[in-house]
Amino acid sequence: QLATFTYYVKYNYIIGNDFETTVGVNGQYQNHTIGDATDFPIPAYHQFDEGPFFIIKKSFGKLDLEGGARYDSRSFTGQAAYIDTTHAFYPSLYTGPNPGSAPNVTQQFAALNKTFSGATGSFGATYNFSNAFLVKANIARGFRAPSIAELSANGPDPGSQIYHVGNSSFKPEFNVQEDAGVFLTLPNVSASVEVFNNNIQNYIYQQQLLNPDGTPARNPNFPLYNIFTYVQSKARINGGEVNLDLHPVSCCIFRTR
């Protein structure tokens, strides 16, 4: 059972010689409980996100400039959980005393206390050659904190028949992306060409666990479930996009009586 509360506050104002400025903060609070579950892929946890930010815009004739900065922080508090496996097909959360020595009780999740934070920013420019043709370019640094599944998963997903395993030692993801594009807007046609390059540090993704002979590894308690673990590495994503939109406008309207 997951409850999520989000918040977003911002204030727009003009400073100096027409510098459009925005300051604000947004984030969310999550509370997840196991309740009466019989499958336990992730633990009960509390999560709190906060991200104050600052954006400023300024036009110099045909040139528009925009920059911004942000600082994100995410805090996790994951609760230790012990599972009563007396009824193999219907395991339940154990809430009794001395779970470490109770019969048929195993630890599913260890306690978790993690905080991730990082600074990000961006700077972009648009040059308007005319009302119909413009060029844009931007460079930005991004941040992403690991999710509770990536940190603490240790259980089956019946929908996919995958047994997920997290890693509590993960670091947050950071990236630097450059992108540029040209845009044309005419009465009968709109077109654009865009390219981007994205370099990511500590990229998190899932990888199937294999046995030494190359066969899929499976959890002994769930022999039909393949094990997938989360791993981190560097990653680079680049590409482009071409868009063409034709929308002819009729020049004449004929009416008859």
pLDDT tens per residue, range 78-110:
999 998 888 767 888 888 888 888 898 999 999
pTM score: 0.84
Q: Region 13-35: what's the mean pLDDT? A: 93
Question: Residue 65 pairs with which residues in a beta bridge?
Answer: 58, 125
Specify whether the backbone of 41 is left (phi greater than 0), alpha (psi in -120 to 50) or beta.
alpha
Question: pLDDT, tens digit, for every residue of 64-83?
Answer: 999 999 999 999 999 999 98
Residue with tokens 């097909």: 89
**22 vs 26: CA distance, rounded Å:** 13
Pairing assessment for the beta strands 154-157 and 133-144 based on DSSP bridges: unpaired
Q: What is the mean pLDDT of the chain?
A: 93
User: Radius of gyration (Cα) for the chain, nearest Å?
Assistant: 26
Task: Output the pLDDT for position 251.
Answer: 59
Helix (H, G, I), strand (E, B) or coil at 149: helix
Question: pLDDT, tens digit, for every residue of 102-134?
Answer: 898 999 999 999 999 999 999 999 999 999 999
**151 vs 144: CA distance, rounded Å:** 13
**87 vs 64: CA distance, rounded Å:** 66
Question: pLDDT, tens digit, for every residue of 195-253?
Answer: 999 999 999 999 999 999 999 999 888 888 999 999 999 999 999 999 999 988 765 55
Residue 216 gets which letter from DSSP? Answer: B
C-alpha triplet 83, 169, 97: angle, nearest 5°: 25
Pairing assessment for the beta strands 133-144 and 173-185 based on DSSP bridges: antiparallel
